[in-house]
Structures are given as structure tokens and as C-alpha cells.
Amino acid sequence: MSSRKKIAATGGGIAAAIIIAVVALSGANVFVHNNPTQIQNITSSSAAQSNTVSTSQVSTSKLQIVAAENFWGSLISQLGGTHVQVLSIVTDPNADPHEYESNTADAQALTNANYVIVNGAGYDDWAIKIIGASNNPNQKVLNVAKLLGKKEGDNPHFWYSPVYVNQTVAQMYSDLVSIDPNNAAYYKQQYVNLNASLGQYNARIDEIKQQFAGTRVAATESIFVYLANATGLDLISPPEFIDAVAEGNDPPAQSVVQFQQQLQGQGGNVTVLVYNEQTVTPLTQNIKALAAQKGIPIVGVTETIQPSDVSFQDWMNSELISLQNALNAKALGQ
């Protein structure tokens, strides 16, 4: 295993979390906690921003929704608007979400929620285990991987695919109407508004594809694969390297040599390096340093929304602008 950044458990592991989750089913009314070492967001507005509230502020008249990660949390919050209270569990910008370890507060929140959204495909097994142990018959769960026909071992970074995002948002809307049919008209309007808001993000992807399709780029981790496909960029980094980094393993030696050669101009010039800032190892840092030495523009991307108080589409659009600027700079010889 490589020495990648890892978030520590705060207050027990899965076993303790599951015990608390079962207890919570007996009627505990606590939904969130105020542990200062655990960074979490609660969102409740038709706007895209998140705000943390105390337990006493949680409205029992709203649907209680838990998203394992804040990228899905942002989207469901915008869909649910004033009728939902959304808790996003994984939000820490300094941690690798692949390595997240749950705590007892997570278990309570997941157990008590009316609706839970998990990414699946091995990305957030901690949440799926808690949900399975609690077995709440009144709870609806959206497993994004299952929705998309994906399985463990597939690239789990579905939120970097505009097609998968659109499919997931459509399912979220359908689920909200199913859970809360009395507010169906409201959710329909929210769905229309969100799709309109996602338009700029989708348009910029199309713009990059029109301008730079076929341009050779590199990435330190598999997070960029779906977006590379969407923008028509040619991601030439060795799959063995980027997959190993995503899984927390050391890449094969030959893939490291191949990657270094690509950055040095052998086998085709690399125009831009996309660097995952939340999945960092000494090896990816060395790759980043080599790219900088060779004058290759570096574009940082993150697994979770950064900063955590902006919307999904604003976050994505910001990353796309950085990518587009880097591609332009290289094209202009800057």
C-alpha cells in the first residue's frame, strides 16, 4: 500500500457505528453531531450553498436526507429546496475520500434518514454496511453505481461524467416525488431550475471538446477518466498507474517509467497534467514536480466540492475553466 493521505476515524469504526445505528432505530431523535474534528455540511435551501446547523435547528417537517459525499449532497439539496434537510458526510478538503472511516454520528444520521444517497462501486462501503445493518424499511436508498449499472472495481468517480450526473439527478427527482408526492409540483420546478443551472457546466464541456478534442493530456489518478472522455481529450497516462493510485496501491514500476517518459516528451507530448489534490502520494508529487520542470501546465482537481459552500455546478465549472485556460495557454505557447 502507498503512503497516501488518510482521514482518521473519530469515535469508533464500522462495528461501533452499526451498534449505534441499531439503537437509533428505537427512537433516538439526534440527527447530527457537533464534533469539531469531523467536517460535515448540512444544506437546506433552494440555493446551492451549505450551512451547518445544530440538532435543535433541524426541522422534523422536512425530509431528512443523507448523502455520503457532498457532490451528491449539493445536487439533492438543490432539488429538494425548502422541503429537505441534507447532511453531506464526506466533505473534508484535506482528506482522501477513498480512505474515509465512519463514526457513530454517521451511523445515526444514516439510520434515521428518509432518503440516503451513496456513490457505490466500493467508494463508500462504510455507508452501505451501516445501511444494511440498520435495515430501515421506511428508508429509500439511491446507490448511484447500481443506477448506472456499475459494480465494484469499476471507476467510481461518476460525478465527473456529465451523462452520469444527468442520470443521477433524474433519479433523485423521481425519488423525491415518490417519497413526498404532496410536493411533486415543487420538486418538478426545482428539477427544471437545476437542469437550467447545469447548462453552463455542460456547455463548457462541449466547448472544450470543440476546441481541443484529441489533445493529449495526463492525470495522476482515474478521477479524470470520465471527464476526459466527455471533453474528447486523449488521456494517455498508463491505466495501471492511475488505477493503482485511486485504489491506494503502488503502481507497477513499468507504468511509472512510462508516465515519466510521457512527461519528458517520449511517445507524444503531454499538454496538461491533471493532478488530484486529495489523493496524494510521494509518487504523484514527484510526477507533479516533473511536469512543472518540463513546463507542463498543472490543473488541480478534487474529489469533493471545494470550497464546500459552493454548488456542484460552480465547483465543476471552476475546474473546467482552469482546464480550458491551461489548454489555451499551451496552445498559445505560454
Rounded CA separation 116/282 (Å):
35
Q: What is the pLDDT of residue 333?
A: 65
CB-based contact 91:125 (threshold 8 Å)? no
Q: What is the pLDDT of residue 98?
A: 83
The single-letter code of the amino acid at 216 is: R
Dig out the grid coordinates for 325 from the structure.
485556460
Dihedral sign of CA atoms 43, 49, 52, 55 in order: negative
Q: What is the pLDDT of residue 237?
A: 97
**Averaged pLDDT for residues 108-117:** 97
Q: CA-CA distances (angstroms) from residue 150 to 119, 157, 210?
A: 10, 11, 29
Rounded CA separation 171/159 (Å):
14
**Averaged pLDDT for residues 125-131:** 95
pLDDT digits (tens, 9 = 90+) for 35-52: 333 334 434 333 334 333
Q: Which of 150, 158, 1, 154 is nearest to 68 (CA)?
A: 158
Question: Would you call 300 helix, strand, or coil by DSSP?
Answer: strand
Domain ranges of the chain: 14-197, 201-331
Share of the chain above pLDDT 70, in %: 80
Q: Which of 315, 321, 319 is nearest to 91 (CA)?
A: 315
Distance of alpha carbon 328 from its chain centroid, rounded?
27
Angle between helices 104-112 and 125-134 (to 10 degrees): 60
User: What is the CATH T-level fold of the domain 201-331, as seen in this structure?
Assistant: Rossmann fold (3.40.50)
Rounded CA separation 175/52 (Å):
25
CATH of 14-197, one of 3.30.565.10, 3.30.70.100, 3.30.2270.10, 3.40.50.1980: 3.40.50.1980
Q: Which of 163, 162, 200, 198 is nearest to 79 (CA)?
A: 198
Q: What is the pLDDT of residue 26?
A: 35
Q: Which of 221, 246, 217 is nearest to 232 (CA)?
A: 217
Least confident of 49-53, 59-63, 216-220, 275-279: 49-53
Question: Residue 269 — pLDDT band, cuts 50, 70, 90?
Answer: confident
Distance of alpha carbon 166 from its chain centroid, rounded?
14
Provide the whole-model pTM: 0.83
**Residue 3 region, left (φ>0) first, then alpha (ψ -120 to 50), else beta?**
beta
Instruction: Answer yes or no: is pLDDT of 150 > 90.
Output: yes
**Averaged pLDDT for residues 29-36:** 33
**Averaged pLDDT for residues 246-258:** 96
Question: Residue 171 — pLDDT band, cuts 50, 70, 90?
Answer: very high
Least confident of 265-279, 286-300, 317-331: 265-279
Find the angle CA(45)-CA(50)-CA(55) to the nearest 5 degrees: 85
Instruction: Answer yes or no: is pLDDT of 2 > 90.
Output: no
Least confident of 174-183, 260-269, 309-318: 260-269
Q: Would you say the CATH fold of 201-331 matches that of 14-197? A: yes
Share of the chain above pLDDT 90, in %: 75
Question: Which run of H or of E encompasses 325?
Answer: helix 312-331
Question: Residue 94 — pLDDT band, cuts 50, 70, 90?
Answer: confident
CB-based contact 118:127 (threshold 8 Å)? yes
